[in-house]
Structure 1
Amino acid sequence: MLGALSMHAAFVLLLAASVVSASGGEGGLSTGEGTTATPHTDTVSVSGSRDISGGNSGSGGGLALPVSGGEAQTEDENWCIIPRVPCLMPEPAEVAAAGPISISDIATFRPQPPTAAMQPNQWMIVGLDTNFYANASTHVVDGTLFGGTAQVRFTPVGYNWDYGDGTTANLGNAGTTWAKYKIAEFDATPTSHIYDQPGEYTITLAVTYAAEFRVAGSSWQNVVGTLTIVAPPLTATAGHATTVLVDQDCNANPTGIGC
């Protein structure tokens, strides 16, 4: 467009020079018949920016330059209009959610600590089943992830028991009480253990959690990896049980013979 305007400006200057030369001054243009024609000046006002440096070689419609007090000057052109494309910047949490989230990314979210329980409580009978079970459940923790509010849902998926006598068990069942199983005391359960020797034992439980997260109420997405939390240990004593015959109820008369 600058090229076209320069050509037009050169033409105006040349015309002005001719006027001055022909009239001998600034009074006007001599017609040779004693009359003088006053030159007409067009003011060109251009807005916008379009490249028409190709001159008259283009095809299609022309670009009309608005003028004040005169006719429009037109140049051919070849051009296209590129539509405006809005640019939306995602939130930080949305950027984070676009890729895999690992267990290390949610380190600030901590699951509720599990607890271990046993029946009978803190004692065992050698040769009989002791029932162990874990208190751990699925729960949601609120917090912040990559600058945005988020929720993490923890689900227990594994229970590793160390019974303190050299044996361990990695189970997928949390277990429960004899009463909830609707079985008699000392009956075997999916999580029970038998001690062969009397003594004092420390029992340790470690619960493994899988995690999911979501941001701004979106759907739950899996977190890569798992998290293991160790419960407070249990201490219990194993001993032998002796059965004797007595002539009365020891609960009613604990000082009776044999009680």
Structure 2
Amino acid sequence: MLVFVLISMLAGAAVVHADPDIFGDWEPDGAQLSAWAWDDSAGKFVRQEPGFISSDPNQYKYELQCHLGGGDFDADCLATVLECKNGPDGKDGIPVTWLKAPAGVPNPVWSYHSGPTCLFDARPEDLLPRIAAMIQSEFQKLPISAGRVTAQPSPHTLRGADTNFYAEAAEQQFDIKILAQDVHVEARPVQYTWNYGDGTTLGPQSSAGGPLPQDRWGEKTATSHVYTRTGDFSVVLTTSFLGTYSVNGGPPLPIPGQGQFNAPPRTVSVWRSITRNYADDCLKNPQGAGCPGAPPTSR
């Protein structure tokens, strides 16, 4: 009885695919994801013209789980078909499997990519473009860490000397919901911009910098900075991330543009160096000028 119900449900989905109120122009052999492109002039997604070239080496489509082509289904698969319950507005979704093929190849041979997974929407051919239109702004809202800022030397450095700054940023992953769909996002740091707090900036550039051994502090690096006056300065790092996203376990797709995120400010105190000669014997007078126990001099 369970198999009969599943066959009826899935076979019914294949029969009604031409009904625009249910599946639009979704065809029995899968909805082609690469059939859509963003039109800047129209401000919306439009179907791609033949010959459209994407930067992704693959093209993708999804099929009903257990679908064999020609309206047939795999009976053994139907016994374990994925249940897609509790979608938007309490409606059920459809179980799908993602396929891939080399981009730009007419009538390609499709191979398995991922799935099965659920797709929840009354018109699944419209769901992915709607998510694509939202993904850039959703990406910018994520709690992505721009990385930790380190200064050498720190927390005090010297006026007129190179202070080495570097960032420690990492790839990050997030699982979010968009239009009630499961969306997996991966973010990768690619560029860094430094605001040194004294009116000067560096970047954006690809180098995050790196640590120096203590005996090399004061050397010029790709991210170092020379302060020309004393004081406390708030250093802010802005890290730019590239991202990809996948919907309901589907193929990873690029997120347009870059997301920019600021690291917590790092305060650096810039001191001046002064050379003096002292006559005190620190063993006899530990509080004498220049001795380790003496009060600090002004910077």
For Structure 1 versus Structure 2, the TM-score category normalised by the shorter chain is 0.5 to 0.7
Residues 106 and 126 of structure 1: CA distance in aligned 2, closer, same or farther (over 3 Å): closer
Q: Secondary structure at the match of 1:224?
A: coil
Q: Which residue of 1 aligns with 2:161?
A: 128
- The question of whether the paired residues in 2 share the 8 Å contact of 1:126 and 1:238 is answered with yes
Which protein has the larger Cα radius of gyration, Structure 1 or Structure 2? 1
Q: Which residue of 2 aligns with 1:96?
A: 127
- The question of whether the paired residues in 2 share the 8 Å contact of 1:164 and 1:203 is answered with yes
Q: Note if 1:168 corresponds to 2:201.
A: yes
Out of 239, 256, 273, the residue aligned to residue 224 of structure 1 is: 256
The alpha carbon displacement at 1:152 in A equals: 0.4
The alpha carbon displacement at 1:212 in A equals: 0.8
More off after superposition, 145-154 vs 236-245: 236-245
Residues 128 and 155 of structure 1: CA distance in aligned 2, closer, same or farther (over 3 Å): same
Out of 215, 240, 246, the residue aligned to residue 208 of structure 1 is: 240
Out of 255, 271, 279, the residue aligned to residue 239 of structure 1 is: 271
Residues 185 and 105 of structure 1: CA distance in aligned 2, closer, same or farther (over 3 Å): closer
Q: Write the letter of the residue equivalent to 2:231.
A: G
**What's the TM-score, normalizing by structure 2?**
0.49
Name the % identity: 27
Residues 257 and 107 of structure 1: CA distance in aligned 2, closer, same or farther (over 3 Å): closer
The alpha carbon displacement at 1:113 in A equals: 4.6
Residues 163 and 137 of structure 1: CA distance in aligned 2, closer, same or farther (over 3 Å): same
Spell out, residue by residue over 1:86-115, the C-alpha distance to the aligned partner (whole angstroms, 9 max, x if none): 345562476433564441144554323533
**What's the TM-score, normalizing by structure 1?**
0.55
1:113-192 counterparts in 2 under 5 A?
A: 113-170=146-203, 171-179=205-213, 184-192=216-224
Q: Secondary structure at the match of 2:228?
A: coil
Distance 1:136 1:188 in 2: 22
Distance 1:133 1:191 in 2: 7
Q: Write the letter of the residue equivalent to 2:189.
A: P
Q: Which residue of 2 aligns with 1:27?
A: none
Residues 104 and 96 of structure 1: CA distance in aligned 2, closer, same or farther (over 3 Å): farther
Number of aligned residue pairs: 170
Distance 1:116 1:231 in 2: 7
Residues 92 and 256 of structure 1: CA distance in aligned 2, closer, same or farther (over 3 Å): same
Q: Secondary structure at the match of 1:178?
A: coil
Q: Secondary structure at the match of 1:201?
A: strand
Distance 1:126 1:87 in 2: 75
Distance 1:116 1:216 in 2: 35
More off after superposition, 88-97 vs 224-233: 88-97
Distance 2:264 2:185 in 1: 24
- The question of whether the paired residues in 2 share the 8 Å contact of 1:162 and 1:204 is answered with yes
RMSD over aligned Cα atoms: 3.2
- The question of whether the paired residues in 2 share the 8 Å contact of 1:115 and 1:231 is answered with yes
The alpha carbon displacement at 1:211 in A equals: 1.4
Q: Secondary structure at the match of 1:225?
A: coil
